[in-house]
Structure 1
Amino acid sequence: MLALRLARGAHPLVLLRRLMVAAASAGVGFLLLCTLSYAVAGPHPSDPALLRLAWCLAPLAATVQFAVAVARTDPGARPRQGLSAVGLGPVRLTALAAASTAVSCTLGSMVALLFFLHLRGDLTGMPFDGDAAELLAAGQPLPLGAVLLLLALVPVVGAGAAALALRPRRSVWGEGIDDDEPEPAFEAPPGGLPWGVALTAVGAAVEAYAGRGTGGGGGTPAGVLAGWTLTAVGLAMAGPGIAHVCGRVLQSLHPGAVRLLAGRALMDDARRIGRPLGVVSAVVSALIAASALAGERPQPFGPLTGLGAALVVACTVAALLTSALEAKHARATTREGLLDLGAPAGLLRATVALRAVVLLVVFAPITWAVAELAALPLRR
C-alpha cells in the first residue's frame, strides 16, 4: 500500500520511467503467452516450443535490467535522515523499491494478458477482435497454471533483482553505505575484466562452432543463443573494467583540468556505466550480425522476433540512459562544489563531452569486432 501511495505522488518523470517498465513487462508477457499458445497448438519438430521459450530469455533479461536501473534511480528508495526513526531504514526502503518494481511489472503483465486474449478473440467489443486467432491457437484451451506462471515471471524476477541490487551494504564498521554516495578514492578497481574477456572469447567460439555445425545454414539456434548469451555476459563483466581503464588513461601524461576531471569521473562511474555499456555493446553487435545475415535469406525474421529484438534494444538503451542519470545525480554534490569554487560551466560540459567521446571511441571497435566474429561463421 505504501508503494502505491508513493507511486501516486511521484514526479512525472519517475512515473514515466515506471510506465516504461510496465510497457516492457507487457511486451515480455505477450511474447511468453505467444510461446505458450504455440506449444499448445501441437508438436513442432522443426521449431520446438522450448527453443522459442529460450529466445524469450533475452527480452526478459533486458526488461529486468531496465527495471533494476529504474529502481536504483527511484527517489523513494534513497535513504534520508530521519526515515529510520519512522521505520523506513535501508532494509525497509529496499523492500519498498522491490514492491514498486513488482507493481509496475504486474501492471504490464495484466496488460499483456488482456491484449493477448483480445487478439485471440476471447474478449470482444473492441477493434481487431480475433485478428490473430489462428496464430495464437484460439481453438485450444490454455492451461491456467502455465498462464499465471509465465505472467508472474517478470514481476517476481524483477522484484528479486531490484532487492538484490539495492540491498544495504555493510562497511567494516557495520554501517550501511548508500549506493548514491561517491565511492572512496582507495576503492579497488573493478576486477571482472579478465573474466569478461574470457567469457566473450568463449561465446564467440561457441557461436563459431554452432555455425559450422550446420554448414553455414545459420547455425544451430540453441548454440547461437548460448554463444550470444556468453558474449553478452562477458561484455557486461568487462564493461566496468574497460571504463575504469579509460579513466586511468585519461589522467596519465600530465593531464589538464578537463582530462583530470573526466578521468576521475570515469573511474568513479565505472561500475554504474560500464555494465550497461557492455550490454548495449553486445546487443548492437548482435544487431549488426543479424542485419548482415538478413540480406542473405528471404524473410529471416518474423513479427514476434522483431518485437523481441525491439524490446531488447529499447530496454538496454533505456537502462544505459537511466544509469547515466544515476551517475549524474551521484556527482551533483561534486558539481556544485566545483561551481562554488569558480569552475566555469563550460569546463564541466567539456568534461562530460570528453567522457562520452572516449567511451564511444573505445566501445565502438569492440562492438564491431564482436559482430564480425559472430557473423563470420554464419556466412559460410
Structure 2
Amino acid sequence: MLALRLTRAARPAVQLRRLLVAAASAGTGFLLLSCLGHALNHPEAADAAALRLAWCALPLAATVYLALAVARTDPGTRPRPGLSAVGLGPGRLMAVSALTTALSTTLGSMLALLVFLHLRGDLSGLPFDGAAADALAAGLPLPVPATLTLLAVPPATATTAVALALRPRDPRPPATRTRGFGRFGAFGTAPRRETFGAYGRFGGRGSGSRGAQAPEADTEDTATDPEPPAPDTEREATPAGLPWGVALVTAGLAVHAHAGRSTPAPSVAVLLGWLLTATGLVLAAPGLTHLCGRLLQSTRPGALRLLAGRVLMAEAARIGRPLGVVCAVASAGYAMTALYDSPAPAFGPLSALGALVVAGSTVATLLTAAVEARQSRADTTAALLRLGAPATMLRIAAALRAAALLAVFAPLTLATATLSALPLSR
C-alpha cells in the first residue's frame, strides 16, 4: 500500500520515467514472446530459436539498466531525516523502490501480452487485429507456463537488480587492522608501532618494579608516531578505468581487423570484437569525462569554466558510465548500418523494435543520470544562488559541459564505429 501511495503521489516527471520503464519492459516482453512464437512455428530449428532468445539479452540489459537509474532518482524513496522514526528506514525504502520497479515492469509485461495476443488474432475488435498471425504462430495453442515464465523475466531481473543496488550498507568505514611484527619477530596486530628500545625491556612490564616501568612510559610518551598524511582526495576521485578502457577498445578493433581477413567474417569474432569495444568505451567514459573537466579548467580559467570543469570532475563516474553505454550503442548501430550497401538497411520489425528498445533505454538512462547529478548538487546550486550567482551563468555552465562532452565523445563514437565496420565491409 505504501508503494502504491508513493507511486500515485509522485510528480509528473517521476511518473514519466516510470512509464518509460514500463514501455521498455513491454518491448522486451514482446521480443521474448515473439521468440516463443518463432519456436512454435519452427520446432525443427531449435538453434535459431535459441539464438533469437540470446539476442533478447541486449534489450533486457538495457531495460534493467534504465529501471535501476529510475529507482535511484525516485524522490519518494530517498532517505530523509526522521523517516526511521516512523518505520521507514533504509531497508524499508529499498523494499519500496523494488516494489515500485516491480509494478512498472509488470505493467509493461501485461501490455506486451495484450499486444502479442492482439497481433496473433486472439483478441479482436481493435485495429491491426491478427496483423502478424503467421509470424506469431496464430494457429497453434500458446503454452501458458512458457508464456508466464518469459513475461516474468523482465520484472524479476529488474526488481532483483534494484534490490541489490539499493540494499542498506553500513555507513561506517571498515576498520583497517595492519598486521605487523611483534617482539622477537612474532606476528601480531599491535594498535601502534613499537618504539625504539622496547626489545631491550623484555620482562620489564611483568617485574612489578617502578624503576623499570617509568623509563618505558617516558620513552613511549616522547616517541609517539606522527599523524599519517591526509590522502589526496582529488587523486582518489579520479576514475581509474581509462587505461583499461583504451586497451579493451584497441583489442576489440584488433579482433575486427582479424575477422575481416576471412570472407565471410565469422560471427563469433565479430560479436567478441563488439563486446570488447563496448566494454572498453564504458570503462573509459568516466576517465574521459574527468579529462573534459580538467581541460575546461586549463589555461587560466574564469569563474564560468572553473564551475563547469569542477562539476564534470565531480560527476565523472555518475555521468560517464551511461554516456559510455550510449557511445557503445551508437557505434554498434552505425557499424551495423555501414555493413549494408543500400542506404536503408532491410531490418525486420522485430530487429527495429529491439534497436528501439536498446537505444531508447540507453538515452533515457543518460538523461536520468543527468537528473540524478542535478539532484545531488541541488544544495550547491542553491548556495550559489544565495551568494548572488546569476541563474544565466549556471545555464551557460551546463551548456558548456554538454558542448565539451559532445566535442570529445562524438568524434570518438564515429571513429570507433568506422574502424569497427571498415574491415568487415570489404
TM-score normalised to the size of structure 1?
A: 0.90
Residues 364, 347 of structure 1: CA spacing in aligned structure 2 closer, same or farther, 3 A cutoff?
same
Per-residue CA deviations over 1:211-233 (Å, capped at 9, x if unaligned) read 444x1x4x444443343233222
Corresponding residue of 2:178: none
Count of aligned pairs between the two proteins: 368
Cα RMSD for the two superposed structures: 2.2
Match of 1:144 in 2: 144
**2:122 maps to what in 1?**
122
The yes-or-no answer on 1:228 pairing with 2:291 is no
Match of 1:202 among 251, 259, 263: 251
Equivalent-residue separation in structure 2 for 1:299 and 1:288 (angstroms): 11
For the residue of structure 2 that corresponds to 1:85, the secondary structure is helix
Change (3 A) 1:212 1:169: farther
Residues 1:263 and 2:309 aligned together: yes
Residue 196 (structure 2) aligns with = none
Contact 2:39–2:46, Cα closer than 8 Å, also in 1: no
Distance in 2 (alpha carbons) for counterparts of 1:279 and 1:285: 10
The equivalent position to 1:337 in structure 2, one of 348, 362, 383, is 383
1:115/1:162 CA distance change after superposition, 3 Å: same
Whole-Å separation in 2 of the counterparts to 1:234 and 1:164 = 25
2:56 corresponding residue in structure 1: 56
Amino acid at match of 1:54: A
Q: Offset at 1:134?
A: 0.5
**1:194 maps to amino acid:** P
Q: Distance between the aligned counterparts of 1:2 and 1:226, measured in 2?
A: 45
Aligned to 1:179: none
Greater RCO (Cα-Cα under 8 Å, separation 6 or more): 1
Counterparts of 1:170 and 1:267 in 2: how far apart (Å)? Answer: 26
Using the TM superposition, give the Cα deviation of residue 305 of structure 1 relative to its aligned residue in structure 2, in angstroms.
0.5
Comparing 278-287 and 230-239, the one that deviates more = 230-239
Contact 1:51-1:222 within 8 A present in 2 as well = no
State the 1:66 CA deviation: 1.2
Q: Is the 2:39–2:45 Cα contact (8 Å) retained in structure 1?
A: no
Instruction: Give the C-alpha shift of residue 248 in structure 1.
Output: 2.2
Report the alpha carbon displacement of residue 46 of structure 1 after superposing the two structures with TM. Answer: 11
Kindly report which structure 2 residues correspond to 1:321-332, keeping only aligned pairs within 5 A, or say none.
321-332=367-378
Match of 1:27 in 2: 27
Alpha-carbon distance between aligned partners in 2 of 1:33 and 1:187, rounded to the nearest angstrom:
46
The match for 1:189 is 238
Q: Deviations over 1:36-55 (max 9, x none)?
A: 11122125669712221222
Shift of 1:314: 1.0
1:316 corresponds in structure 2 to 362
Secondary structure at 1:234's aligned position in 2?
Answer: helix
Structure 2 equivalent of residue 292 of structure 1:
338
| Conservation of the 8 A alpha-carbon contact between 1:28 and 1:60 | yes
Per-residue Cα deviation, 1:154-173 (whole angstroms, up to 9, x for no partner): 11111122223323344445
Who is 1:103 aligned against? 103
State the identity as a percent. 62
Q: For 1:274 and 1:201, how far apart are their aligned partners in 2?
A: 19
1:18 corresponds to: 18
CA distance in 2 between partners of 1:272 and 1:220 (Å): 36
Q: Does 1:377 align with 2:423?
A: yes
Question: Partners of 2:244 and 2:5 in 1: how far apart?
Answer: 43
1:141 is paired with a residue of what secondary structure? coil
Matched, 1:304 2:353: no
Partner of 1:37: 37
Match of 2:403 in 1: 357
| Cα distance in structure 1, aligned partners of 2:266 and 2:409 | 28
**1:241 paired to 2:287:** yes
For 1:46 and 1:198, how far apart are their aligned partners in 2?
37
| Distance (whole Å) between structure 2 residues aligned to residue 167 and residue 69 of structure 1 | 15
Distance in structure 1 (CA, Å) of the matches to 2:66 and 2:238: 24
- The runs of 5 or more residues in structure 2 that have no matched partner are 175-232
Q: Distance in 2 between matches of 1:344 and 1:351?
A: 11
Q: CA separation in 1, counterparts of 2:19 and 2:153?
A: 18
Task: Note if contact 2:337-2:345 (Cα within 8 Å) is conserved in structure 1.
Answer: no
Matches within 5 A, 1:73-88: 73-88=73-88
CA drift of 1:125 comes to 3.1
In structure 1, what residue type is equivalent to 2:64? V
Deviates more, 1:88-97 or 1:35-44: 35-44
Distance in 1 separating the partners of 2:261 and 2:254: 11
Q: Which amino acid aligns with 1:313?
A: A
What is the letter of the counterpart of residue 82 of structure 2? G
What per-residue deviation string (whole Å, max 9, x for no partner) do you get for residues 231-278 of structure 1? 222212221111112212322333211121111100111111101100
List gaps (5 residues or longer) in structure 1: 175-183
**Deviation at residue 364 of structure 1 after TM alignment:** 1.1
Q: Looking at CA atoms only, which structure, 1 or 2, has the larger radius of gyration?
A: 2
Question: Is 1:71 aligned with 2:86?
Answer: no
What is the TM-score with the length of structure 2 in the denominator? 0.81
CA–CA separation in structure 2 for the residues paired with 1:225 and 1:64: 21
Q: Distance in 2 between matches of 1:166 and 1:208?
A: 41
| Equivalent pair of 1:21/1:67 in contact (CA under 8 Å) | yes
Pair 1:372–1:44, CA change in 2 (3 A): farther
Q: 1:168 to 1:269 in 2, by over 3 A?
A: farther
Cα drift, residue 18 of structure 1: 0.6
Amino acid at match of 1:351: A
Cα distance, 1:253–1:5 mapped onto 2, change above 3 Å: same
Cα drift, residue 209 of structure 1: 4.0
**Which residue pairs with 2:155 in the alignment?**
155
SS at 2:347's partner residue? coil
Instruction: Report the residue type matching 1:270 in the other structure.
Output: A
